[in-house]
């Protein structure tokens, strides 16, 4: 292992913590470079779906069966994961906190995770929107709160423009935006060192590795910094590599191509459905100007800003995140 400490501030913080016998969690801001010469196998780790107590089912939406899990009672709250190409597993176990006051609905989009695949491709964002509304109908729900995370936030916004009458509320978490919004470039590699970039490139070009192996070893060698504020545990990285980036090969190209047809400019200037936007200071997926620009697209929305979070706000600052989410859902009643 090659280990470099390149931040004097990080050294002071770590020394203070050692004295208190409570080592701090490493953050993306600490300036620590860690690379490994060896290639690691992805640890065996059980799906959270097998560890949590909820109802799992396959829901027929016409020409496809979507994998669905339901947890808790109360206001229906459907979660749309990021990507395009992620799975519902990314929300586990975090959103079990919301199940104390809401009926939390997890699902995999067509072409992803445990849901059906589309023979020959043909995936589009319009199809994903209609799948979501057919899921609502199949579950017997009139109006629900739609929570969109990352790319899922873009899907949630398109859904809102098509099915506003079935929205009780809209929650956009580190959300993607329409092509018309010109934000500054991504900062995802800003805190990744040259040594880490070089090692990740070596891993990319290494023959014989499967997808999860390549992803897991990239994470260990610095790739975790792109979308995390705190360094995840190896168990968490194994979960991500095994279960949270699983999709049909044709899914991402189809969705990305269909985004050219999305036009959200001005779509929410007169939007009356209660909307909550959650953004993070250290969400390096976007430029630093993104929260303000995005809020400008949703002038009637409430904006919450998280100071100690990266892309996954609900994992980095869970106490505040779920307190605010519960408050918002309760306000809809």
Kindly report, residue by residue over 293-324, the tens digit of the pLDDT.
999 999 999 999 999 999 999 999 999 999 99
Instruction: Summarize pLDDT for 112-169 with one digit per residue, the tens.
Output: 999 999 888 899 999 999 999 999 999 999 999 999 999 999 999 999 999 999 999 9
**Dihedral sign of CA atoms 303, 306, 178, 252 in order:** negative
Burial class for 279, CB neighbours closer than 10 Å (0-12, 13-18, 19+): buried
CA–CA gap between residue 280 and residue 171 (Å, rounded): 14
Q: Which residues are CB-neighbours of 131 under 8 A, at least 6 positions away?
A: 61, 64, 66, 109, 110
The pTM of this model reads 0.91
Q: Which domains does the chain have, with CATH numbers?
A: 2-35+189-226 (no CATH), 48-185+248-331 (3.40.50.1820)
Burial class for 233, CB neighbours closer than 10 Å (0-12, 13-18, 19+): exposed
Burial class for 1, CB neighbours closer than 10 Å (0-12, 13-18, 19+): exposed
CA–CA gap between residue 183 and residue 213 (Å, rounded): 33
Burial class for 256, CB neighbours closer than 10 Å (0-12, 13-18, 19+): middle
Q: Which residues are CB-neighbours of 46 under 8 A, at least 6 positions away?
A: none
Per-position pLDDT tens, the chain of length 333:
433 333 333 333 333 344 345 578 999 999 999 999 999 999 999 999 999 989 999 999 999 999 999 999 999 999 999 999 999 999 999 999 999 999 999 999 999 999 999 888 899 999 999 999 999 999 999 999 999 999 999 999 999 999 999 999 999 999 999 888 888 999 999 999 999 999 999 999 999 999 999 999 999 999 999 999 999 999 999 999 999 999 999 999 999 999 999 999 999 999 999 999 999 999 999 999 999 999 999 999 999 999 999 999 999 999 999 999 999 999 997
Beta bridge partners of 134: none
């Amino acid at each position: 292992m090659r280990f470099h400490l390149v931040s004097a501030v990080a050294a002071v913080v770590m020394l203070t913590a050692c004295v208190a016998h409570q080592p701090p969690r490493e953050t993306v801001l600490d300036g620590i470079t860690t690379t490994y010469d060896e290639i690691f196998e992805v640890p065996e780790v059980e799906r959270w779906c097998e560890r949590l107590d909820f109802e799992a089912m396959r829901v027929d939406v016409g020409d496809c069966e979507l994998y669905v899990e339901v947890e808790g009672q109360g206001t229906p709250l459907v979660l749309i994961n990021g990507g395009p190409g992620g799975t519902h597993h990314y929300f586990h176990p975090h959103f079990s906190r919301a199940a104390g006051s809401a009926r939390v609905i997890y699902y995999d989009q067509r072409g992803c995770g445990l849901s059906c695949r589309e023979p020959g491709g043909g995936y589009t964002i319009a199809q994903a929107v209609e799948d979501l509304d057919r899921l609502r109908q199949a579950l017997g729900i009139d109006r629900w709160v739609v929570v969109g995370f990352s790319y899922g936030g873009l899907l949630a916004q398109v859904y809102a423009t098509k099915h506003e009458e079935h929205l009780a509320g809209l929650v956009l978490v580190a959300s993607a935006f329409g092509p018309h919004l010109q934000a500054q470039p991504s900062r995802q590699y800003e805190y990744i060192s040259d040594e880490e970039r070089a090692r990740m490139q070596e891993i990319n070009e290494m023959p014989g590795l499967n997808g999860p192996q390549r992803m897991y070893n990239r994470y260990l060698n610095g790739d975790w910094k792109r979308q995390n504020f705190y360094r995840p545990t190896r168990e968490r990285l194994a979960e991500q590599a095994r279960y949270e980036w699983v999709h049909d090969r044709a899914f991402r190209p189809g969705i990305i191509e269909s985004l050219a047809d999305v036009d959200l400019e001005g779509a929410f200037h007169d939007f009356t459905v209660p909307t909550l936007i959650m953004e993070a200071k250290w969400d390096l997926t976007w430029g630093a100007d993104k929260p303000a620009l995005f809020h400008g697209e949703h002038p009637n929305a409430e904006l919450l800003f998280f100071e100690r979070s990266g892309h996954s706000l609900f994992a980095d600052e869970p106490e505040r995140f779920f307190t605010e989410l519960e408050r918002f859902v309760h306000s809809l009643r």
